[in-house]
Amino acid sequence: MPLDDLVLGLQRFVDRVIRRARRGRAPTPGRRRLLVVQIDGLSRGVLELALAQGRMPFLRRVIERGGWRLHPMFVGLPSSTPAFQMAAMYGVRPDIPGFHYHEKRHREDVYFPRAGDAARVERAQAAGRRGILEGGASYGCVFTGGADDNLFTFANMKRPSGTGLVAALTALIVLAWVALKSSVITILELARAVLRLLADPVGEWRRGFKWLAIKVGLSVWVRELFTLAVSRDIYAGAPAIYVNYLDYDVMSHAYGPRHGRALRSLRRLDDSIKQIWRVCRRVPEHGYDLYVLSDHGQALCTPFTDLAGGRRFERVVFEDFFTTQGARPVGPERPAGRHHLASGIKALRMGRAPGFFQRFFNYIEDGFPWVLGELKEARERDNVRVIAAGPNAFIYFVDDDAPLPIDRIEERWPGLAEALSRHPGVGYVFARSADGPLCFWRGKRLLLSADAPGPFAGRPDAALVVAGVGDLMAMPSAGDFVVYGIDAAPGHVSYIAEAGAHAGPSPEELHAFVLAPPAARLPEPLDHPVQLYPHFVRYLEGPGQGSAA
């Protein structure tokens, strides 16, 4: 197409301008440089499907003709980005049980998109460790990995990398090109959306345009910005670069990991990886080794509210498992909200009267908890705190700062774990004991070990799953109960509104991959992302290091 030829011509022109203006120090003789491309949320199974269907032709070509090796990787529990990146970037087994959790010792939640939380976790858990991106750049990550320059990284939101006049010049070139190219693509996407609306007005209107905003924002503007910024860093000779592409993960959360819209995003990511690879070839003196990997997969899930009559998991836990024995009464004479009006509304709610009037207040509670002055109390009552984080949820007894073993919990709430595990929206309930991790499944109490994997028996990865559960329950910040909707009776369940979910023990979530250049010497087998750290950090240790040594 003429437009494609124009785009490629402009791209080559920008590349030449940036290369002539590059400002990096002279390459160190014999030294290899690290470049990691992460495709967030892509399981090995979906990758293999995409390769077979021709959705990622560049990656398929480098595997079949370039000698690149696809290394299977088991990511451990939780199967989530923060835990993966902390392990791979700093070589620690982290205390990060989920994307959202509670720290009993500090009496505060950690929610990674919230400003300051990722930086605090990184300072505490990576203290004294050398990050694999020291002196380099990171894009779209949870943690910095020690990078000096970061863009859209939760721990340090900054402008694109570099300082000085030449850096500013190349940044302007990159941003101008991203704006031009992305504007053209956005216009095309909007035009296609209008044509789809004309062809199927009822269906397109019902589906809404949220997916279009996601596609334009992440799959056009952010992806192009990341790709061009990484290209500029390659020309500059940054010692290490890590870019995390979010397109597939976001589309998979919205529609499911094998939905057509999620799979189509992989073709655009394949094009971006090809572009980065071509830039590496243009500066062979910098000696970049390109790795493509994933941090976890996703499982197709049903939202818990669909199984619970619209009630959130937190509300079900408090109303169905705690209310009768110890829920604190709330009313105007015993206010617990921000003002007496909210307390009066809560008193009406606690009456649980039938009819339209009560349903209205239940709707307010579920959809707009801030109206009731109880954004915090929607998750905590009578020293019991419940956090729904995805297909995983955490129950904390916050009057004790230490993680509680099952015998301490059963002194207060006998039979609670068994009862939770019998709920149709619950797959597993994990707890701690003096003998090791316990699993409550379908009302049964099972002590997990490599020889007795309980409900995971029969899975080829059963021993790894049991080890992952042990790692999870050894984390001080994991809940006193860790609840998973994975393998619930009706199928996989998520405790938040999403079609694709991760953090749990399903094969789809746990089995990822590393695609490495032919000379790479990765550990075999890869049973935890912490094994990547020694290999990656060697790139910072001077001449003769890295995969080509």
Give the per-residue SS3 of 195-241. HHHHHCHHHHHHHCCHHHHHHHHHHHHHHHHHHHHHHHHHHHCCCEE
Question: Are 265 and 47 in contact, with CB atoms under 8 Å apart?
Answer: no
**Among the listed ranges 69-73, 80-84, 158-162, 273-277, which one has the minimum average pLDDT value?**
158-162
Q: How confident is the model at residue 223 (pLDDT cuts 50, 70, 90)?
A: confident
* Token pair listed for 514: 């590393």
pLDDT at 143: 96
Q: Is the pLDDT of residue 395 over 90?
A: yes
Q: Verify that 190 and 178 share a domain, yes or no.
A: yes
**Cα separation, 142 vs 330, whole angstroms:** 39
**Cα separation, 62 vs 71, whole angstroms:** 14
Q: How confident is the model at residue 348 (pLDDT cuts 50, 70, 90)?
A: very low
Q: Verify that 123 and 225 share a domain, yes or no.
A: yes
Question: Are 343 and 461 in contact, with CB atoms under 8 Å apart?
Answer: no
- Strand 392-397 versus strand 384-388 pairing type: antiparallel
Please give the share of the chain, as a percent, with pLDDT higher than 90: 61
pLDDT at 483: 98
Average pLDDT for residues 362-368, to the nearest whole number?
A: 43
Judge whether 99 lies within some domain. Answer: no
- pLDDT, one tens digit per residue, over 184-212 is 555 655 665 565 556 556 555 554 555 55
Q: Verify that 202 and 214 share a domain, yes or no.
A: yes
- pLDDT, one tens digit per residue, over 240-289 is 999 999 999 988 998 899 999 899 999 999 999 998 999 899 889 899 99
Q: How confident is the model at residue 229 (pLDDT cuts 50, 70, 90)?
A: confident
Structural domain for 127, as ranges: 2-91+113-298+507-538
Backbone angles phi, psi at 482, to 5 degrees: -110, 120
- pLDDT, one tens digit per residue, over 278-333 is 989 988 989 999 999 999 999 999 999 999 999 999 999 999 998 654 434 333 34
Q: What Cα–Cα distance (Å) separates residue 474 from each residue in 295, 405, 495, 541? A: 21, 11, 23, 32
Please give the share of the chain, as a percent, with pLDDT higher than 70: 70
Q: Verify that 252 and 398 share a domain, yes or no.
A: no
pLDDT at 331: 37
Number of domains making up the chain: 3
pLDDT at 23: 47
Q: Verify that 307 and 215 share a domain, yes or no.
A: no
pLDDT at 179: 58
Question: Residue 140: which of 250, 267, 290, 11 has the closest Cα?
Answer: 250
Q: Verify that 189 and 306 share a domain, yes or no.
A: no
pLDDT at 168: 42
pLDDT at 468: 98
**Cα separation, 167 vs 232, whole angstroms:** 9
Judge whether 87 lies within some domain. Answer: yes
Q: Is the pLDDT of residue 351 over 50?
A: no
Q: Please calculate the CA angle 142-45-496 and round it to the nearest 5 degrees.
A: 50
pTM over 0.85: no
Q: Verify that 432 and 445 share a domain, yes or no.
A: yes
Judge whether 455 lies within some domain. Answer: yes
Q: Is the pLDDT of residue 136 over 70?
A: yes
Judge whether 33 lies within some domain. Answer: yes
Judge whether 387 lies within some domain. Answer: yes
Q: Is the pLDDT of residue 340 over 70?
A: no
Q: Verify that 371 and 471 share a domain, yes or no.
A: no
**Cα separation, 149 vs 187, whole angstroms:** 31
Q: How confident is the model at residue 21 (pLDDT cuts 50, 70, 90)?
A: low
pLDDT at 261: 86
CATH of the domain at 256: 3.40.720.10
Judge whether 254 lies within some domain. Answer: yes
More confident residue, 157 or 487: 487
What region does 204 belong to: left with phi over 0, alpha with psi -120 to 50, or beta? alpha
Judge whether 190 lies within some domain. Answer: yes
Q: Verify that 218 and 233 share a domain, yes or no.
A: yes
Q: Verify that 451 and 488 share a domain, yes or no.
A: yes
Judge whether 127 lies within some domain. Answer: yes
Q: Is the pLDDT of residue 514 over 90?
A: yes
Q: How confident is the model at residue 7 (pLDDT cuts 50, 70, 90)?
A: very low
Residues 263, 264, 269, 274: is their CA dihedral positive or negative?
Answer: positive
More confident residue, 141 or 158: 141
Q: Verify that 456 and 473 share a domain, yes or no.
A: yes
Q: Verify that 412 and 424 share a domain, yes or no.
A: yes
Q: How confident is the model at residue 367 (pLDDT cuts 50, 70, 90)?
A: very low
Q: Is the pLDDT of residue 500 over 60?
A: yes
Q: Please calculate the CA angle 414-431-415 and round it to the nearest 5 degrees.
A: 15
Q: Is the pLDDT of residue 431 over 60?
A: yes
Among 358, 378, 398, give the residue marking a domain's end. 378
